[in-house]
Structure 1
């Protein structure tokens, strides 16, 4: 049994973490986290819905018709730092000395495709002119220009972009102005998250960036308000320290830093289910900070979002109607059969084989339980390259089958059958969710009740030269929403334009 000192208990109290929670996490390390069992990939016609243009418009119109009575919110996970985005460029600064070799010689020596691509497209970056003004006179050849350009972009006495949050970097250039992802998200929100002229947004950000985000909002909100006829109500929150997870040593004992304190680590984006749970809205749109489009594609993106929201509102209306009927103990067997049919066909719910043999009261209780859950409608994009996280039917240890978004890290890559199911997936998850978080009485669900704690991740790290095991919480759209009712809908590729590396800004979808 793990023994905690008074000092340990004080540390837990300061973080807002209970002793029981820590013991449960240590048990998770000891038991390990099993791989998920893929049953089959979700495909169009079996887990993914595909609509014609006319059907998409119909659902978008349904949303437009009902949106004025709803509180809408756009929720944007935005705590990601840009350091990973510039990883190849940091490597370049370390590996290249312009006094000893030319850029051409460096590329030939290292076969560094990222730098080659960067150099070829350098004039297309939204910050090109800004950096060129700052490095004027410092270089004597094109190769040197690229080196000093990257140095100015990343060094602490330059623009220091590597330490910026992604949401505040210049992504797009319109004439003399550049736009950050924060600004682009405001423009989007004005199109589909606005009611009575007010668009509501919430960004989850790192604590050290609080002031930077507020300053950027102040800088651009008025400009976007003029062009969109919307006013913006923007909220911010940080990942709670109470969602940090205990680290353990290789014997599954609590890891202690050199000063004797327990080591806690951030729980990953799954911790944001707590931030999401704090929001008060009828419909919540979720989209990552780095997935934005230039103005010419805004309408297509907004129409796709409205379509997803229309799907949610229509299915929610039916779900609420059945939930009300099932509240009545004298509900007929016919209505119960209709509710079961609705759950299977519209909400992708699967029932265990023994359902038919249960008493009417037990069947009603199961139907109520399966109906009274948050609903998410998730856009899915056709696979263009290697599949990453995507839509699958999975089977849990009790034989329950459900529709989930699964990451490749959750799959046993040593199991040929599981790998073949993973590779057969036709769609991937672009993080494009529309969520209904209230029940038929207008009460908000406690989202923390619908998390599958067994869908987290255990990874190995080091601290102060010592190995440790770290626990990442179930991902926000993975295990953190495992027990939601789920609908997957195919959405166009134009809705997916993430910027994972700086060179992604050279793609046509990010060029104005």
Structure 2
């Protein structure tokens, strides 16, 4: 690939190396191989399920240690709300209240999303706000409902269609409404505060920085007064150096009308760099839209403590064994104990030829396996919600490991792979607790544990022209592929995402 002088300047401004661009173009040419599923992870084989007594024990471990360690809540929050409102944007385009009744429109089009919206729209947290803004502007009920949607979405109204999802009013508390941002502050107070101080890190879009600052000034004071916890909130943006080059259908760099190269955001997998930059002993990760109303707050906090307690328990053993391995003078039975711990508690598989290696080689293998970041991932029973799932996966070298796999990574044209995928009993709600330090207290470089072969190639268009785009391995997929991974069943009540505006009408988002 020949780069012009202007191309090289563009790469330098983005912080993208020529080698990275060439590597990405090779990926387009070669394609990304499907993963090879061995079997679905299930309870008793890949997913842990704890008794009530065990859960209480883990909560006690976490609560007993939390004031001696640093905790951080890491929330990917750059998502725009526009996709939430897709059906309602379509409604504004397709419906004319002057010529057709709303019920006739719904019957004619079969638009169930619009029907559901208006059946329950009085229960949205923003209903009264919008009604007061449009009051008296129309005499027709049909036009009033149309005006409601316009006021909700468009730039000369509240402009919710272009808000970050994290700053929309989700829950109505009578005198005020709470955004997901505010609900995450409440959660942090409940399970990730240390000595009545809680730290949160939100990854956001740069253009929304001031909006988040204003929300923190308002909501932060309210939640601090309510919980007696003080908050430190930091932000970061997806780095331009993680953008990926786009190519045309012949795998040649796609160029804009001005001749410049087209780069696109690399997806949430780019956030592994942001995660790598934060500093804490234990990091909780949860998506911005997965928040709960008060009646579920205890079950959420308890389950986070369960996952956190398990991490601390496993880290204590991991650190002890890692330190022993560094001394290099272990007996065979000590090596066997470490190997057993890795297999039974960290889900690590060893190749059959492990015992053919010398003691020195076995020690190096054990060092490699044990000195890795650890992630404890909550998994919920599969109730038909979209999302990746927990699987045992075999790589090209024959190594088997636990992974969170998306359907796009699986060769569904292969009957056996499709059968394994359909056997999944659980799915990934993005509920992680991460340990990112070694026994010496040093941070792992998380970029060393990414499987670059777990990205995604998608087809897009730009100004009517077809192109191919490259998404980096997902944050909790390939970006964490070489972490030590433990899956734990958590209650469905802990998973309440808002993918469309109508999800806010579900009982889980209605304050009693």
Q: TM-score, normalised by structure 2?
A: 0.99
Partner of 2:63: 64
Shift of 1:465: 2.5
Partner of 1:228: 227
1:453 aligns with 2:452: yes
Partner of 1:444: 443
Give me the whole-angstrom Cα distance separating, in 1, the residues matched to 2:260 and 2:127. 47
Any residues of structure 2 matched to 1:229-308 within 5 Å, and which? 229-308=228-307
Give me the whole-angstrom Cα distance separating, in 2, the residues matched to 1:6 and 1:110. 53
Give me the whole-angstrom Cα distance separating, in 2, the residues matched to 1:127 and 1:350. 51
Give me the whole-angstrom Cα distance separating, in 1, the residues matched to 2:115 and 2:454. 40
Partner of 1:431: 430
Shift of 1:456: 0.2
Shift of 1:140: 3.5
Give yes or no for contact 2:387–2:429 (8 Å, CA) kept in 1.
Answer: no
Provide the aligned length of Structure 1 versus Structure 2.
Answer: 511
Give deviations 1:354-400, integer Å, cap 9, x for gaps. 11111111111000000000000000000111563110001111111
Partner of 1:403: 402
Give yes or no for contact 1:387–1:423 (8 Å, CA) kept in 2.
Answer: no
1:416 aligns with 2:415: yes
Give yes or no for contact 1:257–1:464 (8 Å, CA) kept in 2.
Answer: no
Give me the whole-angstrom Cα distance separating, in 2, the residues matched to 1:163 and 1:304. 33
Partner of 1:147: 146
Shift of 1:220: 1.0
Give me the whole-angstrom Cα distance separating, in 2, the residues matched to 1:273 and 1:332. 38
Give me the whole-angstrom Cα distance separating, in 1, the residues matched to 2:120 and 2:463. 41
Give me the whole-angstrom Cα distance separating, in 2, the residues matched to 1:190 and 1:387. 29
Give yes or no for contact 1:103–1:144 (8 Å, CA) kept in 2.
Answer: no
Partner of 2:134: 135
Give yes or no for contact 1:166–1:290 (8 Å, CA) kept in 2.
Answer: yes
Partner of 1:119: 118
Shifted more, 230-239 versus 16-25: the winner is 16-25
Shift of 1:143: 3.3
Give yes or no for contact 1:387–1:425 (8 Å, CA) kept in 2.
Answer: no
SS in 1 for 2:297: helix
Shift of 1:144: 3.1
Relative distance call for 1:374 and 1:236 in structure 2 (3 A) is same
Partner of 2:346: 347
Give yes or no for contact 1:201–1:234 (8 Å, CA) kept in 2.
Answer: yes
Give yes or no for contact 1:205–1:239 (8 Å, CA) kept in 2.
Answer: yes
Give yes or no for contact 2:75–2:201 (8 Å, CA) kept in 1.
Answer: yes
Shift of 1:150: 1.0
Partner of 1:54: 53
Give yes or no for contact 1:379–1:430 (8 Å, CA) kept in 2.
Answer: yes
Relative distance call for 1:420 and 1:204 in structure 2 (3 A) is same
Give me the whole-angstrom Cα distance separating, in 1, the residues matched to 2:53 and 2:145. 49
1:478 aligns with 2:477: yes
Partner of 2:41: 42
Give deviations 1:24-76, integer Å, cap 9, x for gaps. 11111111001111110000000000011221111011001111111100000
Give me the whole-angstrom Cα distance separating, in 2, the residues matched to 1:252 and 1:502. 38
1:492 aligns with 2:491: yes
Give deviations 1:192-237, integer Å, cap 9, x for gaps. 1111211000000001101100110011111100111100000000
SS in 1 for 2:114: helix
SS in 1 for 2:378: strand
Give deviations 1:402-454, integer Å, cap 9, x for gaps. 10000111111211211111111000000000000000110000000000000
Give me the whole-angstrom Cα distance separating, in 1, the residues matched to 2:43 and 2:137. 56
Give yes or no for contact 1:246–1:264 (8 Å, CA) kept in 2.
Answer: yes
SS in 2 for 1:176: coil
Shifted more, 284-293 versus 297-306: the winner is 297-306
Any residues of structure 2 matched to 1:496-507 within 5 Å, and which? 496-507=495-506
Shift of 1:466: 2.0
Give deviations 1:443-495, integer Å, cap 9, x for gaps. 00000000000000001112232221110000000000000000000001111
Partner of 1:323: 322
Shifted more, 96-105 versus 462-471: the winner is 462-471
Give yes or no for contact 1:104–1:143 (8 Å, CA) kept in 2.
Answer: no
1:366 aligns with 2:371: no
Shift of 1:175: 1.1
Q: TM-score, normalised by structure 1?
A: 0.99
Give me the whole-angstrom Cα distance separating, in 1, the residues matched to 2:48 and 2:482. 20
Partner of 2:98: 99
Shift of 1:299: 1.3
| Structure 1 unaligned spans of 5+ | none
Q: Would you identify which runs of 4 or more consecutive aligned residues in structure 1 move more than 6 Å?
A: none
SS in 1 for 2:485: strand
